[in-house]
Amino acid sequence: MRRLLRRVVVDGLHRWADRLPVWASVHSGTRRAGRFAAFGEGSLLCFPWTALYGEQAIHIGRDTMIGSYVSLSAGMVPGQRLLHEGIVVIGDRCVIGRGTSIVGHYRIEIGDDVWTGPGVYVTDQNHGVDDPDLPIGVQPPAPERPVRIGAGSWLGAGVVVLPGVTIGEHVAVGAGAVVTRDLPDRCVAAGVPARVVRMLGPGESPHPSSGRTSSA
């Protein structure tokens, strides 16, 4: 009897755990979605997330899916009074991969139809390094510089996008790349630092098919 009871309890806990991500995820019409500056119809923020704050300065477009274990933040700390409401802007029909971090202090703009793989890191801020006698973590931050990722682009797994970068439209960035400078429209970039390895021709899409850039 004790073994049977234990099995019933464990099975119940497993069913509860399976359903929790569905119940706790954020979608338009939920109370949590109302905290955002905008949360478009058909969009979904999967549970659990790693960090989520400054929602009043975060805009999410329509039909966008944001994966689990994502960090999505506007401002330095929770509860901070923010200077404007458009610090992080994510467009329509985007897919933000599991474990991605989008850390905005000033302005991060992600265009429509942008997809990312897992573990991408995008930020508009960095630590200051001006005083060699102070630990980096306690130095004043460097000035924030806006980041823009153009519509229709794809960032592979583990890509890092640093402050001040503009990635053009329809750009594919290979896994593990570190983007330190602007990338033009319709190109493929890879490496550390990321460099253009080829330009996309007419009809080619940056969104991967079977792991390769493919024709639309």
- Rounded to a whole number of angstroms, the CA Rg of the chain reads 20
Joined tokens for residue 68: 């689990």
Given 84, 127, 170, 207, the catalytic residue: 127
Q: Where are the alpha helices (DSSP H) in 25-93?
A: none
Q: Is residue 127 annotated as part of the catalytic site, yes or no?
A: yes
Q: Where are the alpha helices (DSSP H) in the chain?
A: 2-24
In this structure, are residues 147 and 88 in contact, taking their beta carbons and an 8 Å threshold?
no
Residue 172 dihedral angles phi and psi, to the nearest 5°: -105, 125
Please name the helix (run of DSSP H) or strand (run of DSSP E) that holds residue 47, with its range, or none. none
CB-based contacts of 204-208 (< 8 A; 24+ apart in sequence): 205/152, 205/170, 206/152, 206/153, 206/154, 206/170, 206/171, 206/172, 207/115, 207/152, 207/154, 207/172, 208/154, 208/156, 208/172
Q: Which residue shows structure tokens 């995008």? A: 122
User: How many alpha carbons fall within 13 Å on the CB side of residue 203?
Assistant: 1
CA distances from 132 to 90, 136, 139 (A): 37, 8, 10
Q: Which residues are catalytic?
A: 127
